[in-house]
Amino acid sequence: MAGRIPDQFIDELLARTDLADVVSSRISLKKTGQNYSALCPFHNEKSPSFSLNPNKQFYYCFGCGAGGNAISFVMEHDHVDFVDAIETLAKDACMEVPREQGAPDRYEQNAELLKRLSESSQFYQKQLTQHPDKKKATDYLSKDRGLSGQIAKVFGLGYAPSGWDNLLKKVGTRAESQEQLLLGGMLIEKKDQPGHYYDRFRDRIIFPIRDSRGRVIAFGGRAFGDEKPKYLNSPETPVFQKSQELYGLFEAKQNTPILDQIIVVEGYMDVIVLAQHGITNAVATLGTSVNSQHIRKLFKLVSKVVLCFDGDKAGRSAAIRGLEASLPVMQDEKQVRFLFLPEGEDPDSLVRKEGKEAFNLRLEDASSLSHVLFDHARNQVTLGDEEGEAQFARNAMEMIKQIPKELTFRSVLIRQLSDQSGIDSETLGNTVFKTRRQHSPTIEEHESAPQNNTQNLPHYDGDSPDLSHYEYEPSNGDYDDFHHGDYPPTTQTKTQGSFKKPFGKKSFSKGKFYHEEPALPPAAPSLSRVKQSSLCLLLHPHIAKEIDLPDPLVNQANEELQIFCKIWRYFAKHPNKNTGHLLGETTDKATISSIYALLNHQDATTKQKITNAQQEVLDMVSALEKNLGLNSSIARLKNKGNESIKDSSSKQELRNLMDLIRQKKH
């Protein structure tokens, strides 16, 4: 991967960046004395609670606790990672981002390929507005699918006219360009004429697939009628691996003001129609089942993922694959929920029929992961006798054991299973099972699977959609300026489940385990218990006055604990002040940097919403006190020497200490 960005450059970038300019380019600021105020972009509010201090170059929201510098603002507002935020600010400041020694990433290596894909997208968009046969395409989008010109523009929809070489003649005018188009899956080489090519996409509606930075990395094409294949997707390329991408993720990040949950649906038309109805936080897999890499990627952005499935047999089988993909990457304070639509409906048809509010009510009523897990375990057996009850417990425990051992969520599920099965938690935890394996279906499986079933979609019966936005010139995005980022999606086809019986009604066949899926990237580092408590104080400063820290803790040399104590001491002394005041009055750069790191951590969103912040901090303090007492007692007994531990009281104290040590190990 590319080398890291030097710290000196980040410092220089912040010195040359005016936070007020960065924020005002995204939201409306109002001068209030020496500061600026605004409606906070990170939560819904009616009166301004967002404050920006231009002298200290930091912002803070008194309503939701969001705060930081220019980098953190771009990260939170634009829904991008740290590197993308640096590159965005550097581009605005006309600065080149340097890299320490390291190999370029796959996108830097394929800049020319990305440029050809961008030019291809612009070509298809232009055909939708200017080609002599454009009415065929616009009528299909507006009359058959009920899409407005505006939503077509948001998602960059295009039209590939009939003919074998339209794109080839326009974009592939040079041999080098043809090679790049072939590498990007846009051209196909003639079998009987090596070196001669024809267009892959012909006479289709085109769906560009963008990465999280907006770069076009692949395409999907939908036939107008019942031609086969109905959906034609780009093959995998150096910049596109469909099992790692999610269609619509870039658009969701751009168009959802408060992105706290993401809905995963089964088709890109579902994503677009939901967005047209105001539900902009939907994404779709690209011809593959939901896998662990998808869930892990989404957990970096949001705390709640809703997996939405069609109300048919294939949809319910897909739900189980989603369940099994979620288990090994679950995190405490993260949620995966399951929305099952009425049979015969998909998100596209249902939101047209019921509207946004009714669909959102369904989302709120989505089933929890535990509910789906236990129902699936029950549906595989016949209950009512001891053997069935035992098999239910084994089925459930086999799935629960896929959850990381350190999670509280795993312990909760074991306790729930104990209540339902009558088997004590220790026995359940000691039961040995085979490992349940997962897999992402192969390309051959996808090509043989039924395609996205949308031909029965009802026609749009509402008012005639606004077509004015179809008459536009596509913007010329400067894709050469992009060098980094995650990589998104392509087209969605719904695959039949590998299970023989539907979820929720009949038994699933047993003994069919998935093959191992590709190795997952390492999970984002979690906060230590002390740092979690520090974050609780930053986001809930009023609790500091209810917490007492003993002197032995305050005097500890541990760096994490020193930061915690500084935060606690400030809020205990100033009970009416908040994190914005703390940042403004702190002069120590190391402390400020630590606070920013905590506020920008992925757990900050969930910590903001918890109701037991005070108890969490008290539990941490109690654990540290206990640990300090244990350590000091051990040291004292060591200093007494072996000869001094012969009296009964010292022996009993030693036994007690050994018991405590054993408890800590377990």
The H or E element spanning position 204 is strand 204-210
Q: Return the pLDDT at 140.
A: 92
Residue 231: which region, alpha, beta or left (left: phi > 0; alpha: psi -120 to 50)? beta
Q: Return the pLDDT at 474.
A: 37
Segments of the chain with pLDDT less than 70 = 1-3, 101-108, 383-385, 431-525, 551-557, 627-666
CA–CA distances in Å: residue 155 to residues 254, 356, 455? 11, 19, 21
Q: Return the pLDDT at 585.
A: 79
3-state secondary structure 640-653: HCHHHHHCHHHHHH
Distance linking the first and last C-alpha atoms of the chain: 39
State the pTM of this model: 0.60
Q: Return the pLDDT at 524.
A: 46
CA–CA distances in Å: residue 662 to residues 390, 657, 659, 665? 32, 9, 5, 5
Which residue has tokens 């996808």? 446
Q: What is the pLDDT of residues 505-529, one digit of tens each?
A: 333 333 333 333 334 344 446 788 8
Q: Return the pLDDT at 489.
A: 37
DSSP helix/strand/coil, 219: strand
Q: Return the pLDDT at 453.
A: 37
DSSP 8-state assignment for residue 409: H
> Rounded distance, CA 82 to CA 235, Å?
30
The H or E element spanning position 232 is strand 231-233
Q: Return the pLDDT at 390.
A: 84
> Rounded distance, CA 256 to CA 303, Å?
15
The H or E element spanning position 420 is helix 408-421
Q: Return the pLDDT at 654.
A: 52
Phi–psi pair at 202, nearest 5 degrees: -140, 130
* 261-265 β-sheet, strand order: 282-284, 261-265, 304-309, 335-340, 367-368
The full set of domains in the chain, from first to last, is 7-92 (3.90.580.10), 108-239 (3.90.980.10), 249-443 (3.40.1360.10), 530-665 (1.10.860)
Does residue 486 contact residue 212 with C-beta atoms inside 8 Å? Answer: yes
CA–CA distances in Å: residue 564 to residues 64, 135, 165, 529, 598? 21, 64, 65, 11, 11
